[in-house]
Amino acid sequence: MNPAAVPASGAHASAPFLTGDLATPLGRPLSLAVLGAGARGSAYADLAAKRPERARVVAVAELRDSVRTAFAAKHGLTDERCFADWRELLDSPRLADVAIVAVQDADHVEAAVGLADLGYQLLLEKPMATTEEGCDAIAEAVRRNGTALALTHVMRYTPYTVALKQILLEGAIGDIVSLQHLEPIGYYHFAHSFVRGNWRREDQSSSLLLAKACHDIDWLSDVVGRPVRRVSSFGSLTHFRPESAPEGATDRCVTCPLESSCAYSAPRLYQGGLRKGGTKQYFTRITTAGELTEKAVTEALTEGPYGRCVYHSDNDVPDHQVVNLEFDNAVTASFVLTAFTPLDNRHTKIFGTRGQLTGDGRRIEVYDFLTERTTVVDTSLDGSSAAEGHAGGDEAMFHAYVDALQDGRPELIVSGIDASLASHRVVFAAERAWRAGTVIEL
């Protein structure tokens, strides 16, 4: 039977929708319900709009009235397909083939489990959940319902990663022995997201490593292709704390006499975003709920969390951390996560028995020990940040998921439940190792 003709499972099933059986091409556009119309949810909806013959947004759940209204207008949604609370979808008949879950991290378990039980297929924003138990609950629901899930580990899908893995597969540097990997978060990105923003406190979101770097741990696991055996980690909140504040600093940038000389000035970032595109404007949109006006920025800086002094916020996540990994084939990896960089691409060195590979998310340089020559491969598409599409990863991941469901090609989903659960376990082990000051065996 064509999966499009099978009714959804669960008590609320009322229409034929795609099941988790991906063996048969669908033959019609996928229908998508977007939970959370913020930066990530909107980005995926916009990608769907580029190929309406493959996928179409049919519903949205978004708390903010103005954001929900703008999203609905952009994607042609009627009022009855717009919800202020995503939990309303759990109490309604199934509305779509796929639910794109881009709500706050702490809500992922309730949303993903409930939607899977209703028969929705899931495109789930990373991290899976804020606890290992939550990840297990999602995995159990996905397996119980035969759900086609992809986690948005977009780094697995970039043209850069595809090219890099092919180079390694061809033996260009021999056998991998060790890796160095740097995630340069960027000073103003860190101040926005992890000092002033939604991910500043672990009790309100998740750990820094989980929120920002589960991508990287997953990517290292994908490149090495072997399970992690042992983990250690070190880090601290060193700079963004009250004792680091310069004398005379106030609790808000707009009242601070030192604002013009502060590298972390909120007016410099968000007012600059009004005049420029790219990442700064992306952050400004988040700050003002999408309204790019002087008035909106001024109000946000005066009243909202994004106008706070970085030394007088209530943040508690570390501003730098290192994770050391040993894989079960004795390959080792060192991963550094830090706030104190320009906003830059990730940097990786892979050391092999016959050569060295150096990459930055766009360019790959391969040095051959025998010939002493360097070969360069340029995979550049766009920038590496979320505002710039994660070096083509957002589009490649989204289209791979849609095409897998459309064409009966489940092998296109390379960030499914098994791989994603395994790499999340490594992240949680690294957090335990950091807090206990020990080495964790997996």
Report whether pLDDT(15) > 70. Answer: no
- Mean pLDDT over residues 51-76, rounded? 96
CA pair distance 424, 442, nearest whole angstrom: 12
Find the DSSP H helices in 196-293: 208-224, 266-275, 278-287
Phi then psi for residue 354, to 5 deg, are: -120, -5
Whether 383 shows a pLDDT value over 80: the answer reads no
DSSP assignment of 356-404 equals EEEE-SSEEEEEETTT--EEEEE---S-SSGGGTTTTHHHHHHHHHHHH
What is the structure's pLDDT at 205?
A: 86
Element of type H or E holding 233: strand 228-236
User: Which pLDDT belongs to residue 277?
Assistant: 75
Mean pLDDT to the nearest integer, 402-431: 96
- Residue 437 backbone zone (phi > 0: left; psi -120 to 50: alpha; other: beta): left
Q: Give residue 103's pLDDT.
A: 95
Place of tokens 């309730």: 110
Asked if the model's pLDDT at residue 384 lies above 60, the reply is no
CA dist 378 and 163 (Å) reads: 9
Question: What structural domains does the chain harbor?
Answer: 3-152 (3.40.50.720), 156-240+315-389+417-441 (3.30.360.10), 242-307 (no CATH)
The pLDDT, as a whole number, for residue 382 is: 56
- Indicate if the pLDDT at residue 9 is higher than 50: no
- Say what the pLDDT of residue 3 is: 36
Based on DSSP, count helices (H) and strands (E) in the chain, helices before strands: 12, 15
What is the value of pTM for the model shown? 0.89
Gyration radius of the chain's alpha carbons: 22
Spatial distance between the Cα atoms of 57 and 306, rounded to a whole number of angstroms: 31
The arithmetic mean of pLDDT across residues 75-100, rounded, is 96
pLDDT per residue over 96-139, tens digit each?
Answer: 999 999 999 899 999 999 999 999 999 999 999 999 999 999 99
Contact predicate 119/97, CB 8 Å = no
- The average pLDDT across 189-200 equals 96
Question: 241-275, pLDDT tens digit by residue?
Answer: 999 999 999 999 999 999 999 999 999 999 989 88
CA distance 58 to 145: 23
Predicted pLDDT at 19: 84
Q: What digits encode the pLDDT tens for the residues 343-378?
A: 999 999 999 999 999 999 999 999 999 999 999 999
Question: Up-side HSE of residue 284: CA atoms within 13 Å toward CB?
Answer: 23
